[in-house]
């Protein structure tokens, strides 16, 4: 029997990589998308004939229940969320509705429709926040530092609670930052690689950034979606940290990205105090020992390979834009937080 997977957040970075991965495993892939006046299927355009998209919204319980009844999935991957940390200070209630209560709506739908559906929740290293220890593992206490982190902590614990209350196969993947050429341009890595490409090709000259000292454990999104699937193939549901175990500063990322394009970052980067967050997560580094020993998971792409992959992809994209002489979209603006 062909297995069926439902992915919420299929239009996002991880959704696109996971859909491709599950198609490769022979799954029938269904994606939940919210209604919008303009479609945002950029990342999954190449998959559209191979997957089925359905309208529903994390805010709307009935639409989620109806979707589960129609599709009858074997596995549900809940990737949808308001995922940009700075926006969570600007829209804390909406972030709570999507990123926290949205998880309960997904779990309630499973409880009502079919408790045998396996559930993956996209939890986040942002929950560790002001870290209690280094590296962070499944046993490290949470101390979130943003409304987003608080909402994700709720999503994590409600997942654990439905597992314990209703015996649902519900797993929480505590994923550390993972990036790719499909990463949203508001996140720091892609903001940097997009700017490097534009600077290299002469369509802009400066890049404004916030805290260069922040440290993150950055991996490749393509590696991380494999871990999501592996969690749902186990005999028992559990929670896992997924990380590389290496940390680097934003400054390290900047230096490497500019150097890869033969540029000196100090000629182009400016610090904008408006981009400093009300409360910062200064450092994150994960211990993925459990994922390694139980799931057999390990990352394939190293930090320098990730930076190079992202710079090269943006150089190719901007080169095409310049060649076609279309206006480079958002070329000299900083609309992010
Ligand atoms: P992303 O690119 O921002 O994608 C978020 C997805 O959620 C988009 O498809 C978005 O749809 C959808 N969405 C938002 N609100 C929705 C709603 N009300 N109803 C239905 N769909 C909605 O995020 P990502 O980087 O792929 O991350 C995937 C998940 O992992 C997120 O939950 C994120 O918080 C979590 N996470 C990410 C990382 C990371 O480093 N990437 C690390 C840990 C955890 P639209 O296209 O319509 O906006
Ligand atoms: O790329 P970021 O915006 O990612 P952040 O806040 O770590 O969150 C990402 O990873 C989480 C996992 O830990 C996910 F749950 C979440 O959904 C998201 O995917 O910022 C990384 C660091 C921060 O410390 C920030 O202060 O980069 C610093 N930074 C410095 N200048 C900047 C900038 N971040 C952004 N977005 N833009 C800047 O100009």
Ligand 2 contacts CB of residue 207 (under 6 A): no
Assess whether 108 carries a catalytic annotation.
no
pLDDT of residue 327: 57
- Is there a contact between 153 and 125 (Cβ–Cβ < 8 Å)? no
Ligand 2 contacts CB of residue 159 (under 6 A): no
Sorted by where each starts, the structural domains of the chain and their CATH numbers stand as 4-180+218-242 (3.40.50.720), 188-215+248-280+302-324 (3.90.25.10)
| pLDDT 10s digits, 55-94 | 999 999 999 999 999 999 999 999 999 999 999 999 999 9
Compute the distance from residue 85 Cα to the ligand 2 centre, in Å: 7
Handedness of CA 14, 18, 19, 20 (dihedral sign): positive
| pLDDT 10s digits, 239-256 | 999 999 999 999 999 999
Report the distance separating Cα 155 and Cα 178, nearest Å: 19
Compute the distance from residue 212 Cα to the ligand 2 centre, in Å: 11
Assess whether 124 carries a catalytic annotation.
yes
Compute the distance from residue 295 Cα to the ligand 2 centre, in Å: 28
Q: Is the pLDDT of residue 335 over 50?
A: no
pTM of this prediction? 0.96
| pLDDT 10s digits, 286-298 | 999 999 999 999 9
Q: Which two tokens stand for residue 166?
A: 């209703």
20 HSE (CA, 13 A, CB side): 16
- Nearest protein Cα to ligand 2, atom 25: 211
Q: Which of 83, 124, 146, 180 is catalytic?
A: 124
């Amino acid at each position: 029997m062909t297995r069926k997977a439902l992915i919420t957040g299929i239009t996002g970075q991880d959704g696109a990589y996971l859909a491709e991965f599950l198609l490769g495993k022979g799954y029938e892939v269904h994606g939940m998308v919210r209604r919008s006046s303009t479609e945002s299927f950029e990342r999954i355009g190449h998959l559209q004939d191979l997957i089925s998209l359905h309208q529903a919204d994390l805010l709307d319980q009935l639409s989620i229940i109806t979707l589960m009844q129609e599709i009858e999935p074997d596995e549900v991957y809940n990737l949808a969320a308001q995922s940009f940390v700075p926006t969570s200070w600007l829209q804390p209630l909406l972030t709570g509705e999507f990123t926290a209560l949205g998880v309960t709506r997904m779990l309630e739908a499973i409880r009502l429709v079919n408790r045998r559906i396996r559930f993956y929740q996209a939890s986040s290293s942002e929950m560790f926040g002001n870290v209690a220890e280094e590296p962070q593992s499944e046993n490290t206490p949470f101390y979130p530092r943003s409304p987003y982190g608080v909402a994700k902590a709720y999503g994590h614990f409600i997942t654990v609670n439905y597992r314990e209350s209703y015996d649902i196969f519900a797993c929480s993947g505590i994923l550390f930052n993972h990036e790719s050429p499909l990463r949203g341009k508001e996140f720091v890595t892609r903001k940097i690689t997009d700017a490097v490409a534009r600077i290299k090709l002469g369509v802009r000259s400066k890049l404004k950034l916030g805290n260069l000292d922040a440290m993150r454990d950055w991996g490749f999104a393509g590696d991380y979606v494999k871990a999501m699937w592996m969690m749902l193939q186990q005999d028992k549901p559990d929670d896992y940290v997924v990380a590389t175990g290496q940390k680097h500063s934003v400054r390290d990322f900047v230096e490497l990205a500019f150097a890869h394009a033969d540029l000196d970052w100090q000629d182009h980067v400016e610090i904008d105090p408006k981009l400093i967050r009300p409360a910062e997560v200064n450092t994150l580094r994960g211990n993925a020992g459990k994922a390694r020993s139980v799931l057999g998971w390990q990352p394939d792409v190293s930090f320098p390979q990730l930076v190079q992959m992202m710079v090269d992809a943006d150089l190719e994209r901007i080169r095409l834009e310049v060649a076609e002489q279309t206006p480079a979209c958002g070329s000299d603006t900083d609309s992010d937080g």
